[in-house]
Structure 1
Amino acid sequence: MNVIFVSPQFPSVYWQFCAALRRNGAVALGIGDTPWEALAEEVRASLDEYYWVGDLEDYDQVYRAVAYFSYRYGKPDWIESNNEHWLSLDARLREDFNVARGPRPGEVERWQSKARQKPLYAAAGVPTARQTMLTTFDETRWFIGEMGHYPVFAKPEVGVGACGTRILRSDDDLRALLRDCGAGGDGGDPPVPYVVEQLVEGDLCSWDAVLDSGGEPLFENQEEFPPSMADVVHGGLDMSYRSCPRVDPRLSELGRRTARAFGLASRFVHMEFFRLRSDRPGLGAAGDYVGLEVNVRPPGGSTPEMMNYAHATNVYQVWADMVCFDERRTEPDGTDAYCVYASRRDAHRYAHGHDEVLARWGAAVVSCGRVPDALSDDLGNYQYTARLATSEEADEFVAYVHEREGDCHGDQAGVREGSGGGSPTAGPGA
């Protein structure tokens, strides 16, 4: 097989998808915007050939790269980035080079649209928050009145993570959103499409899976995000989340139904849900799951590494097995555990220095280091990731890493909430 992988150098762990392809006998061909000599050695070693383009946003350059690979190696069998930012680029390349496998632009556009996801959730029988497109003040205010009252949650109609999201608590907040996104009718730039929806109180979870060509999971993972990414960004909170050793069967069933309704197959997927903390008429009882959004790629950053530690496996190889063989040939090699991520921000002062953290938790810490600036708004500036046997140990680890100078026994607002309370607002995860 000839597999073209877009941006194998970022995120920094994604070269492992290419290395796994080569272990399966595929030809791994990379296209990226980092010069060859600046690539890390492991990235170079994971590829059969690499084509540097000055700007991945310049479609003509990327098109020429694929044309070159097609001439040199033959028609590509697969084009993928596993990266939200490049999903539309992947789809356009598949269409222009008539690659049989993988979604085309129309499918990706439908999957990335917050509004167009709603009927697909309904077809799956998965409850979701009520939603409307942001139009005029009067129409949006009428929708808010129909739901009862403020606050409500606003987010870009197409987008990922917490970027651009807002909590609207008053008419003034709504007017400010209309003005800032260009929907005020002042003849300026075209409006940025937004949706406004119910504010859901619950714990943010995800169902992550590698799906075969029939849409059945070859691998499953459950993540939990206390607090949510939206709370982290808007409140400047310290970030923590975890990959769990087991998947709630109820969440797994909802994930599978959602995959079928969305027509998802032969992909890594990351589906976000709220687990209600109290009964909510029209949505469900406490403990029920409510659909938030579907992402047709792995969860962000280094989360695939966390899945490996949580499940004693290699998800890069599971994905490559799916691409090359449409089956899983990689089995777990060890016991399951909690893999938990806890990050710090440069703006805060913490009670325990780096050496203290490693002295207290070093046996469990599987990685630590600076977070790339491009991801730091969501994921913090410095991260510690640990593999721990119990949820209680994971809570203790997060509280220790996040404890700030002056906190009383680490009982920091946000740490305790982050350790067990979940998110009080709606917002996407990684």
Structure 2
Amino acid sequence: MEQPKNFIVISPHFPDNFSTFTVRLRENDFNVLGIADVAYEQLNDTLKNGLTEYYRVDDMNDYNQMYRAVAFFAHKYGKIDRIESHNEHWLELDAQLRTDFNVFGYTLADLEPVKKKSSMKERFRMLDLPVANGRVFSDEEDAINLAEELNYPVIVKPDSGVGAGDTYKINNPDELVTLFEESDPTVDFIMEEFIPGDVVTFDGLCDQDGNIVFYSSLDYNIAVLETVETDSDMYFYLPREIPEDLIEMGSKIVKGFEVKERFFHFEFFRTYPDGELMPLEVNMRPPGGPTIDMYNYVNEFDIFTEYANIVKENQFKAPVQRLYNCAYISRKANRDFNYSHDNEAIRQRLGAALVGIQSVPGIFSAILGTEGYIVRSPDLDELFDHINYISEKLV
């Protein structure tokens, strides 16, 4: 395969930590061509320096504008080798542009199994993997009958959707009726049985041939859905030790979904009480929030550079050592309690184990809190001590 040279990044400025993709690609001699709907002056200086050229559109949802932007770059720089946003919101847009410009990666023909949850379930079944019972329902009467068949509580979410914001735990018929009164009638919803268990993930990066060159995992103290529903604090962590059954099932899904030169983020239930794994959904993107940065803190490499190496040479060059367990702990402002320890006390107590404290933009704060703390330790018990210290509340 000829080495790629022209890489279009869709929405290179969002989220902010993903702008490093642009910088590392430019350092590896790509022409990095950005397209987004914000003024060039609003891009940070690091991103400006990483871009070969930037094309502003008025509306990224207007496909004609996006098509013209890509055509402009193709006319000026030659064949476009890659188009990527790393953002699930633009998954279909990325695929449409790749289809129309004959670019490597997921095209429209590949999209349904990685976009629709009902199609994901069918692919899981084809791979002989267990799935939660449920299906897309057609109308209110069908939904009521299906909920009775599955038994309350049930989970209802858009068949094609992003994140936990539009996912609902429905406990009784009245809540189901209310959902129909308040939801968009043009959206197809899928209903599934409620599975008691913890959510765990299998995440990583594949090379151009579909080989997993890096993998990791996330454990959560509470489900993201519950964090949103109850406005709770939460934490998640990347463990050094990853269970063999998770690696085995995650690897099977990578092969079954033909993941190539992409980050992936697969969610599973670890069911109660038997501890078995059940796949929940696939996301063909990096995990959200600070997780991709946490890969670097765990391994002391630069995942953005390694992604550029995969695109350029199909090689992941850094050793994957998993030197640390690494956690993100959220704290939310304006609560009806106070935390026991302020930031200065946390800095003094944790020392070098505290990687950083970050303020979280409002769009992410419902899940990630208004402040986030990233900590690491080679010892898992010590990591939990740090988590408990940061989370401790005054009685």
Normalising to structure 2: TM-score of the pair? 0.94
Query: Which of 76-85 and 119-128 deviates more?
Result: 119-128
Match of 1:304 in 2: 292
Instruction: Please name the residue that 1:170 is paired with.
Output: 172
The 2-side partners of 1:234 and 1:376 are apart by 13
One of 122, 125, 128 as aligned partner of 2:128: 125
Give secondary structure in 2 for the equivalent of 1:17: helix
1:162 and 1:378 in contact (8 A); partners too = no
SS in 1 for 2:155: strand
1:377 maps to what in 2?
A: 366
Contact 1:211 1:217 in 2 (8 A): yes
Which residues in structure 2 correspond to 1:24-103 (within 5 Å)?
Answer: 24-99=28-103, 101-103=104-106
Cα offset for 1:5? 0.7
Q: Which has the higher contact order (CA 8 A, sep 6+)?
A: 1
CA-CA distance at 1:335 after TM superposition? 5.5
Partner of 2:381: 392
Match of 2:7 among 3, 27, 47: 3
Match of 1:346 in 2: 333
> 1:232-271 counterparts in 2 under 5 A?
232-271=227-266
Match of 2:393?
404
2:135 & 2:76 partners in 1: Cα distance? Answer: 49
CA apart distance, 1:347: 2.3
Q: CA deviation at 1:376?
A: 1.3
Asked if structure 1 preserves the Cα contact closer than 8 Å seen for 2:112 and 2:119, the reply is no
Cα distance in 2 for partners of 1:397, 1:162 equals 27
Secondary structure of the structure 2 residue equivalent to 1:300: coil
The answer to whether the 8 A contact 2:358-2:372 is kept is yes
What is the aligned counterpart of 1:363 among 327, 352, 367? 352
C-alpha separation between the residues in 2 aligned to 1:266 and 1:52? 27
Give yes or no for contact 2:113–2:123 (8 Å, CA) kept in 1. no
| Runs of 4+ off more than 4 Å | none
Q: Distance in 2 between matches of 1:387 and 1:53?
A: 41
CA-to-partner distance for each residue in 1:125-146, whole Å, 9 max, x for gaps? 2211111213334433333333
**Once the 2 structures are TM-superposed, how far is the Cα of residue 342 of structure 1 from its aligned partner?**
0.5
Cα distance between partner residues in 2 of 1:108 and 1:31: 22
**Residue number in structure 2 paired with 1:141:** 144
Q: CA contact under 8 A between 1:216 and 1:256: conserved in structure 2?
A: no
Q: Closer, same or farther in 2 for the Cα pair 1:36/1:138, shift >3 Å?
A: closer
For structure 1, list consecutive stretches of 5 or more residues without a partner in the other structure: 183-189, 279-285, 407-430
CA distance in 2, matches of 1:137, 1:58: 33
Could you say if the C-alpha distance between residues 72 and 340 of structure 1 is closer, same or farther in structure 2, counting changes exceeding 3 Å? same
Contact 1:210 1:318 in 2 (8 A): no
Q: Secondary structure at the match of 2:267?
A: strand
Structure 2 counterpart SS, 1:14: helix
1:107 to 97, 107, 110: 110
SS of 1:374 mapped into structure 2:
coil
Asked if the contact 2:234–2:330 (Cα under 8 Å) also holds between the matched residues in 1, the reply is yes
Provide Cα deviations, 1:373-420, integer angstroms capped at 9, x if missing partner.
1211221111111112222222222222222232xxxxxxxxxxxxxx
